[in-house]
Chains A and B, each alone.
Chain A
Amino acid sequence: MENLNQPQATPPDNHLVWAILSTVLCCLPLGIVSIIKSTKVKELWLQGDHAGAQKAANDAKKFAIWAAVAAAIVWVLYIILMVVGIAGGAMGGY
Chain B
Amino acid sequence: MPVEPWVDTNKTIKLTLLVFGLGGLFLLYYLFNPSQSTFFLSCPIKMVTGYHCPGCGSQRAVYQLLHGHILAAFRLNPLMVLTLPLLVYGLGLTLYNYIFSTSHRISLFYNNAFIFGYFAIAILYWVLRNIPYAPFTFLAPTE
A interface, CB within 8 angstroms of B: 1, 4-5, 7, 10-11, 13-14, 16-17, 20-21, 23-27, 32, 35, 38-39, 41-43, 74-75, 78-79
Contacts and interface: CB of A to CB of B under 8 A. Distances in A.
Contact of B123 (A14, A24, A27): A27
A13 B103 contact: yes
Given A17-B94, A20-B87, A24-B55, A4 B122 contact: no
B83 interface: yes
Interface in B38-70: 41, 43-45, 47, 53-55, 58
B115 A24 contact: no
B61 to A, nearest CB: 11
Nearest to B80: A24
B44 A17 contact: no
Interface of B: 41, 43-45, 47, 53-55, 58, 79-80, 83, 86-87, 90-91, 94, 97, 103-105, 107, 109-110, 112, 115-116, 118-119, 122-123, 126
B118 A20 contact: yes
Contact of A11 (B45, B90, B105): B105
Contacts of B43: 26
A26 B105 contact: no
Contact of A38 (B41, B91, B115): B115
B126 A27 contact: yes
Point out which of A16, A42, A43, A79 has the most chain B C-beta atoms below 10 A from its C-beta.
Answer: A16
Given A13-B97, A16-B109, A39-B112, 17 more contacts: A5-B104, A11-B105, A13-B103, A17-B91, A17-B109, A20-B90, A20-B118, A24-B122, A25-B58, A26-B55, A27-B53, A27-B54, A32-B119, A35-B119, A42-B110, A43-B112, A79-B41
